[in-house]
Amino acid sequence: MLQIKDLHAGIEGKEILKGINLTIRPGEVHAIMGPNGSGKSTLASVLAGRSDYEVTGGSVDFLGKDLLELAPEARAGEGLFLAFQYPVEIPGLSTINFMKTAVNEVRKYRGQEVLDAAEFLKLMKEKMSLVNIDKNLLTRSLNEGFSGGEKKRNEVFQMAMLEPRLAILDETDSGLDIDAIRIAAAGVNAIRSKENATLVITHYQRLLDYIVPDFVHVLYNGRIVKSGGKELALELEETGYSFLKNEMNIA
Amino acid sequence: MSTITTIKDKAQELGAATQDALQPVRAAALAAFNQLGVPAVKHEEWKYTRISQLFNQSYQLGVDLSNTDATWQTFRLPEYETANELVFINGVYNPAVSTVRSAGLVVLPLEEAAKGEYAQVVSKHLGHSGKYMKDGINALNASFLVGAVFIGVNRSTEIEHPVYIYNITDGRAGNVFAQPRTLVHVAANAGVVMVETYGSIGVADHFTNQVMEVVVEQDARVEYYKVQNDSNRSSLVSTTHFRQVGKSYVHAVTISLNGAMVRNNLNMVMEAEHCDSNMFGLYFTSGSCHVDNHTIVDNAKPHCLSNEYYKGILDGSSTGVFNGKIFVQQDAQKINAFQSNKNILLSDTANVYTKPQLEIFADDVKCSHGCTVGRLDEEGLFYLRSRGVTEASAKSLLLHAFAIDILDQIRHDALRTYVDQLISERLGT
């Protein structure tokens, strides 16, 4: 589904990703862990198409398409979704109106019929109960004045609405207490399927208690330095990243 | 002969021919205009709006209403079927095509009002704006004062349907200069909704210099909307002067979407305690359109509240000007006056000049002001696009979101929908 080969990228001339290789197949859950500054969020941003970042080498194939050639909206159309670490506040635009536009533009991209008001409402109600989000939140200005937990739940709701093939969760647990993490994770789990894949980017292991990964990768200094099963996350939790740094230096 | 000389001669001629109750006002105004002339660039209030260039060409000044046909109807506002409609053609009120429906609403030619029941109101309030607009352009309007209208709202009456005022210029016979004039008196405990709009017929240069004075008595409520979406060859100076003579409420919203050179003067003179007023504005310009909003809030008495919020979106080579003056006089303790102006520039060639101006002589007041000029939020744009929304749609969603808090201030539903539609069309959605 996603094939990243020797990806190099940076910002303002500074190289941050120094050759990433990663393959994700349908149905899999991958976690990328790593200390601050290792390039986790850069990887998420490059995959979603944020223009501040410059790709200097390598390739990304997503469902047979050259992902790096696509505009951000086309990536979403193809089935990529990025749950933001810091969802943007947009006063004056409600989540409902935003989603009405987004769902229909994505449907158009995918060659599906656009939804009329009644069909949209039906879809929205279904997804609302799936991710357990309150309607009041969705009629308010997008993310404006939302708590950290509400913002992340709103991201999960948007994800449910857009039915992506690959969901990237960028530090979805950051700034959340354990209850909020549990709720967000339950939402993510509710929309997982055999056809879809999830890439969880996190600093801490605790989110992985709720979204259990098939593979764990450790990102350090712009490279994936270690990959393993879910037990790797537990190992990191015990030893911390310093252990890895030492290992790297010895190697 | 220069255009200005022609205009002066015409005013002189008009004065000689019309010996009515308004003649002293005309004569005084003409004398003032002779002295002040047309504001030049060096006039601080007109620094960015070069009104003098509009006098470099000739206009028709004689008003011929015989060619009035149904063309003006293309400018009708929604739900006009039930509204009160007052139509000015080339600056002159046209009763033949105007309709007054609501009980408690009085519409009279101003010269008639000046000698009847409303004589005192007229003599007391007509021309008051001249004290605040010390420039020739305001005097020029009063020096003509023909085809002007008096609008009276009777005591304790809530006017059921809005009063639509159409300022139409018909340029099918050549360039046209029009000077509509209105005096509105809202009696104690009365309420009214007024909407002004502008429309040009024919391909010519249109120049409207409009003055409306509104007197708001004790416990009266006024909602006032201005919707400007005129042609690229239509220029406008629109002065609206509110005088809150009793504890009252005024809610004004100015929407400017197109025109050649548009200058709005909105004055809120709060002469009684506990007055409450809102002034909202949205200008969304493109091409070479120029929109200038000059506002004055004059707090003369204590315990008043004014809330002012203007937003601008400027594209192409268009220009926006915002100048917000707030005076707090020595007696006006415990007032609250808020002002904010926010702008988004969509192109490198668009300009905005924004200037808050507060003059405070009282020591126990709360005043705030602020202005911002920026570009469309890149982070927001990426966020929306990452959800599959195309760049064009994302831009229009963000701009609509920016405009919405002004649009929401239009409380007359049909009008809000109408303006929203105009904005959506502009945004291409």
Question: Tens of pLDDT along B278-313?
Answer: 999 999 999 999 999 999 999 999 999 999 999 999
Select the residue of B384, B402, B404 nearest A98 (Cβ to Cβ).
B384
Determine, for residues B388 and A73 on separate chains, whether the beta-carbon distance falls below 8 Å: yes
> Is pLDDT of A247 > 70?
no
Boundary of a domain, candidates B244, B272, B300: B272
Instruction: Give the total number of structural domains in chain A.
Output: 1
pLDDT of residue B429: 66
Of residues A73, A77, A91, nearest to B391 (C-beta): A73
Please name every residue paired with A170 in a beta bridge, in sequence order, or none if there are none.
A201
Supply the pLDDT for residue A246.
67
- Supply the ipTM of this predicted assembly: 0.95
**Minimum distance, in Å, between the CA of residue B391 and any CA atom of chain A:** 8
Percent of chain A past pLDDT 90, that is, above it, reads: 71
CA-to-CA distance for B340 and A49, rounded, in angstroms?
Answer: 35
Measured between beta carbons, the chain A residues lying within 8 angstroms of B428 are: none
Q: Which residue of B has its CA nearest to A84?
A: B383
Number of domains making up chain B:
2
Per-residue model confidence as pLDDT tens digits over B73-102: 999 999 999 999 999 999 999 999 999 999
Rounded Cα distance, B267 and A181, in Å:
54
Q: Tell me which of B422 and B70 has the higher pLDDT.
A: B422
Q: Mind telling me how many Å the CA of A101 is from chain B's nearest CA?
A: 7
Give residue-wise pLDDT tens across range B133-168. 888 999 999 998 989 999 999 999 999 999 999 999
Contact B384 A106 (CB under 8 A): no
Task: For residue B392, list chain A residues with Cβ-Cβ distance below 8 A.
Answer: none
- Could you report the per-residue pLDDT of B45-79, keeping only the tens digit for each? 999 999 999 999 889 886 666 567 889 999 999 99
Instruction: Establish if B215 belongs to a structural domain.
Output: yes
A119: Cβ–Cβ under 8 A, 6 or more apart, which residues? none
- The answer to whether A92 contacts B390, with C-beta atoms less than 8 Å apart, is no
Chain A nearest-CA distance from B145, in A, is 44
Residues A92-113: tens digit of each pLDDT = 999 999 999 999 999 999 999 9
pLDDT of residue A149: 87
Angle at B169 between CA B59 and CA B69, to 5 degrees: 120
Last residue of a domain, one of B257, B272, B287: B272
Please judge whether B388 and A105 are an interchain contact, meaning their C-beta atoms are less than 8 angstroms apart.
yes
Q: Which residues span the domain enclosing B201?
A: 3-272
Distance from CA of B399 to the nearest CA of A (A): 9
Go through B290-316 and write b for each residue having 16 or more CB atoms within 10 A of its CB, e for each that does not. Answer: bbbbbbbbbbbbbbbbbbbbbbbbbbe
Indicate yes or no: CB of B401 within 8 angstroms of CB of A92. Answer: yes
Euclidean distance between CA atoms A128 and A34, whole angstroms: 32
Write the residue in A50, A92, A162 that is nearest to B387 by C-beta.
A162
Q: Tell me, yes or no, whether B386 and B265 share the same domain.
A: no
Q: Do B387 and A49 touch (CB under 8 A)?
A: no
Chain B residue at shortest CA distance from A48: B386
Q: Do B401 and A93 touch (CB under 8 A)?
A: yes
Which of B387, B391, B399, B408 is most worth mutating to test chain A (most A CB atoms within 10 A of its CB)? B387
Instruction: Enumerate the residues of chain A whose CB falls inside 8 A of the CB of residue B401.
Output: 90-93, 141
Per-residue confidence band for A69, with pLDDT thresholds at 50, 70 and 90: very high
Mean pLDDT for chain B overall? 94
Res B200: pLDDT: 95
pLDDT over threshold 90, residue A174: no
User: Are residues B383 and A102, on separate chains, in Cβ contact within 8 Å?
Assistant: no
**Which residue in B293, B410, B298 sits closest to B342, CA to CA?**
B293
Cβ–Cβ contacts within 10 Å for residue A144, how many?
14
User: Looking at this protein, which amino acid is placed at residue B192?
Assistant: V
b/e string for B26-52 if b means 16 or more Cβ within 10 A? beebbebbeebbbbeeebebbbbbebb
The answer to whether the CB atoms of B383 and A101 lie below 8 A apart is: no
CA–CA gap between residue A224 and residue A33 (Å, rounded): 9
Q: What is the mean pLDDT of residues B170-177?
A: 91
Pick A91's closest partner by Cβ from B391, B397, B401: B401
Of the residues B272, B302, B328, the one at which a domain ends: B272
Contacts of B377 in chain A (CB under 8 A): 88
Q: How far is B257 from chain A (nearest CA, A)?
A: 20
Instruction: Determine, for residues A73 and B385 on separate chains, whether the beta-carbon distance falls below 8 Å.
Output: yes
Residue B127, SS3 per DSSP: coil
Identity of the residue in B384, B388, B397 whose CB atom sits nearest the CB atom of A106: B388
CATH code of A98's domain: 3.40.50.300
Per-residue pLDDT reduced to its tens digit, A188-246: 898 889 999 999 999 888 889 899 999 999 999 999 998 999 888 888 888 877 766 66
Q: What's the pLDDT at A145?
A: 94
Beta carbons of A106 and B387 less than 8 Å apart: yes
Residue B243 Cα, gap to closest chain A Cα (Å): 33
Read off the pLDDT of residues B353-409 as tens digits, 9 standing for 90 and up: 999 999 999 999 999 999 999 999 999 999 999 999 999 999 999 999 999 999 999
Q: How far is A24 from chain B (nearest CA, A)?
A: 20
Residue B294 in any domain: the answer is no
Is B340 part of a structural domain of the chain?
A: no
Provide the domain limits for residue A32: 2-250
Q: What is the mean pLDDT of residues A125-147?
A: 92
Closest-CA distance, A81 to chain B, in angstroms, reads 7
Provide the residue type at A65 as one letter.
K
- Percent of chain B at pLDDT exceeding 90: 86
DSSP secondary structure string for all residues of chain A: -EEEEEEEEEETTEEEEEEEEEEE-TT-EEEEE--TTSSHHHHHHHHHT-TTEEEEEEEEEETTEEGGGS-HHHHHHHTEEEE-SSPPPEEEEEHHHHHHHHHHHHHHHTTPPPP-HHHHHHHHHHHHHHHT--HHHHHSEETTT--HHHHHHHHHHHHHHH--SEEEEESTTTT--HHHHHHHHHHHHHT--SS-EEEEEESSSGGGGTS--SEEEEEETTEEEEEE-THHHHHHHHH-HHHHHHHHHH-
| Residues B270/B241, Cβ–Cβ less than 8 Å | no
pLDDT tens figures, B212-235: 999 999 999 999 999 999 999 999
- pLDDT band (50, 70, 90) for residue B349: very high
Confidence of residue A60 (pLDDT cuts 50, 70, 90): very high
Q: Is B174 found in the same domain as B27?
A: yes
A–B CB contacts, 8 A cutoff, strictly below: 78
Identify whether B297 is part of a domain. no
Confidence of residue A251 (pLDDT cuts 50, 70, 90): very low
Q: How many CB atoms neighbour CB B402 within 10 A?
A: 24
Q: Which residue has the tokens 């009696």?
A: B187
Handedness of CA A66, A71, A75, A77 (dihedral sign): negative
Chain A residues near residue B404 by CB distance under 8 angstroms: 92-93
Using DSSP's 3-state secondary structure scheme, residue B157 falls into: coil
Same domain, B257 and B132: yes
Distance from the A86 Cα atom to the nearest Cα atom in chain B, whole angstroms: 10
Are A51 and B405 a contacting pair at CB < 8 A?
Answer: no
Are residues B402 and A97, on separate chains, in Cβ contact within 8 Å? Answer: no
